[in-house]
Structure 1
């Protein structure tokens, strides 16, 4: 499979690169600063691109099979705009290349109505801190639902991310805002699930929460 990865210099993105290359996929990492990617591999191509500029990234998407986004943006006031703007740019570049398959990494609790179901500490301390991030993720999800009928997207929603090792632990999944169980999951296992979604029709046009 030929895949393009945005957010390849982040924790989850790097895990995705490593696992994809180990599985003999051909990977194009599209980044602002290529020097941040230290690994080398015969199947890895690192290109410079500005995710907010469609013309800057459309050439790198030529002949790809699947596009992955592991982009992350910090909380900002009054609002975060990175997720929606980046996704619109990526989708525009995909359409110019006739691509359909897109897998994005978001988070639990993007739907505001689900946030009241979080445990006390998360509900009253963490969620207020990252509210603008979650709101922008939700804006992106709604845009995909309403404006991207021709894109086979999957939104993967993990809980809290850790730097633990790749495991073979069963990953629970549900089409919804969160799963019952541990609220922590390793970035490596998130990458494992994202890669697996690319080879199945099960999660197309779905927003899937994952956890252990």
Structure 2
């Protein structure tokens, strides 16, 4: 498969990149700072550019069949600015599969019906800017016709993939409090071959 990976220089994105290359996929990467990749592989095509620039995104998406985005919020609006561009370009090309990394804050609250976790007393975070940014990206996907999945980890320390974790559609599994970057990358990558969580947010934790 020809795959566009966004956020490949990040903690989760780098794990997804390695798994995709190991499985023989042709991976296109769009990165503002490609020198941070530190990877050379015959199946890796690196595009220097900005995901919020439509021409850069169009060039990187050429010949791709699916998109995985591990973009973070980076203190700004890159995530919500880029998502409509990604959706529009995928739609124009007839592409369907979009997998992204979100946050547990945009999952449904168990304690206050009708609210997301970051909007409710279930969240311990005082600052909601990052969750609001992920919420805007989620709403853009929800309004699209794409086959999207948002993987929503809770506290995300660095760590290897164990392959042992819990997931739940729409909610964070009960008493979940962390998940490693490695296992988040593992589950995210596996969604390429899965249709279980189409048009869904998925909570993941130990």
**TM-score w.r.t. structure 2 length?**
0.89
1:85 aligned to which of 70, 81, 86: 81
Provide the residue aligned with 1:43 in structure 2: 43
Deviations 1:6-57, CA, capped at 9 Å, x for gaps: 1111111111111111122211111011111111111111111211111211
Provide the residue aligned with 2:112 in structure 1: none
Give the alignment's Cα RMSD to 1 decimal: 1.7
**TM-score w.r.t. structure 1 length?**
0.87
Distance 1:44 1:18, change over 3 A: same
* CA positional deviation for 1:180: 1.5
Deviations 1:130-173, CA, capped at 9 Å, x for gaps: x0110121122122212x02x1111110111111112121x311
1:153 equivalent in alignment to 2:151: no
1:134 aligned to which of 131, 150, 169: 131
Q: Give 5+ residue unaligned stretches, structure 2.
A: 108-114
In structure 1, C-alpha distance between the alignment counterparts of 2:10 and 2:129, rounded to whole Å: 20
Provide the residue aligned with 1:164 in structure 2: 159
In structure 2, C-alpha distance between the alignment counterparts of 1:95 and 1:193, rounded to whole Å: 25
1:206 equivalent in alignment to 2:200: yes
In structure 1, C-alpha distance between the alignment counterparts of 2:102 and 2:116, rounded to whole Å: 16
1:178 equivalent in alignment to 2:135: no
Q: Give 5+ residue unaligned stretches, structure 1.
A: none
Q: What is the count of residue pairs matched by the alignment? A: 198
Q: Could you tell which deviates more after superposition, 105-114 or 154-163?
A: 105-114
Distance 1:19 1:61, change over 3 A: same
* CA positional deviation for 1:117: 5.2
